[in-house]
């Protein structure tokens, strides 16, 4: 008779762990944006990618040269190789994308 209460506790614990595991899989994904400044090294309109040699982006990324996908291909019409730009990147579960880019004065 003693085994029935232990069995119930075991089953209850197992069910609780299963529910907690299912809840963890349904996590909320945040979209975070960051501002950067850099120089356009390459524009690939076919692939919707720009290569930016940028300064460090505070609390996000060190200075580097990196290719970025753009969310809106129309952004590529505003820039060309050699342009100094201010840009905004969006970091989400879908990836990192440039969502805005503006030429800066030299």
Query: Can you give the pLDDT of all 106 residues of the chain as single tens digits?
Result: 455 666 666 565 555 455 555 444 445 478 999 999 999 999 999 999 999 999 999 999 999 999 999 999 999 998 999 999 999 999 999 899 999 999 997 6
The pLDDT value recorded for residue 97 is 96
CA pair distance 21, 57, nearest whole angstrom? 35
Q: Where are the domains of the chain?
A: 32-103
60: tokens are: 């996000």
The pLDDT value recorded for residue 30 is 86
Contact predicate 52/66, CB 8 Å: yes
Residue in the structure block whose two tokens are 């060309």? 80
55: tokens are: 């300064």
- In which element (H, E) is residue 13 found? helix 3-25
CB atoms inside a 10 Å sphere around CB 52: 24
- Domain boundaries 32-103, CATH class: mainly beta
The pLDDT value recorded for residue 19 is 52
């Amino acid at each position: 008779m003693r085994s029935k209460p232990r069995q119930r506790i075991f089953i209850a614990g197992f069910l609780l762990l299963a529910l907690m595991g299912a809840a963890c899989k349904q996590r909320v994904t945040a979209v975070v944006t960051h501002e950067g400044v850099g120089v356009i090294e390459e524009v690939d309109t076919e692939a919707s990618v720009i290569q930016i040699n940028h300064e460090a982006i505070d609390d996000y990324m060190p200075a580097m040269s990196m290719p970025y996908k753009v969310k809106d291909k129309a952004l590529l019409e505003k820039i060309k190789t050699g342009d100094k730009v201010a840009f905004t990147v969006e970091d989400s579960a879908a990836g990192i994308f440039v969502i805005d880019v503006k030429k800066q004065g030299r």
